[in-house]
Amino acid sequence: MAKDTKERILATALEMFSQNGYAGTNIRELTAALGLVKSSMYKHFASKEDIWNALLDRMIAYYGERFGSPERLPPVPDSPEAFIAMTMRMANLTIHDAQIVMTRKVLTLEQFRDDRARALATKHFLTGLTEMFTHIFAGMMEKGLLRRDDPAMLAFAYATPISALIHLCDREPEKTDEALRQIEAFSRHFIRVYGTTENA
């Protein structure tokens, strides 16, 4: 029961922080949204900062399990079509999973206030993706699916526009379908440009 309450607190905190930011959310509003009294809240978390840090830990675990990370690298695809399908699975997950969307919003809002949020924003929006695709592209080169090049530079060139389109979906959700079409078109273009002759 205590674990369930703790999870409810973190889920509600994520929702409120993503809408109002850390500074714009207070414990009184959070407890009211949960139907708790402050004393019940403090049985689980010592302060709002304690909730914030637990929430960041939860975000890291959730994102890593579902999306992958440099510590949990996805398998290298066996064909160009498998690579495109992997890209689209990742894009659809990160655009449509409510917790990942709220996490991205929280990190976007709080990266200028909190050092840990800033580091996580850099990792999730840039360096983590680049590291993941560096691994994938190096493996695809070994399999003869991509022509030899600098996998880290290719990863940077590949991940950056996709990340920009994902952020566009956060700002303008009505453009989600078009953004997904653009991501798939870009992925196919990438394979045409960098794929080996027999696989492009």
Q: What is the pLDDT of residues 28-55, one digit of tens each?
A: 888 888 888 877 788 888 888 999 989 8
Name the residue among 59, 41, 125, 129 with its Cα closest to residue 98.
59
What pLDDT score does 135 carry? 94
User: Where are the extended beta strands (E) located within the chain?
Assistant: none
Q: Which of 41-45, 62-66, 90-94, 107-111 has the lowest mean pLDDT?
A: 62-66
Selection from 4-8, 22-26, 142-146 with the highest mean pLDDT: 142-146
6 burial class (0-12, 13-18, 19+ CB within 10 angstroms)? middle
| pLDDT in the model for residue 70 | 62
CATH numeric code, 77-200: 1.10.357
Q: Is the pLDDT of residue 2 over 90?
A: no
Structure tokens at 200: 């492009």
pTM of the model: 0.82
What are the domain boundaries of the chain? 1-60, 77-200
1-60 CATH: 1.10.10.60
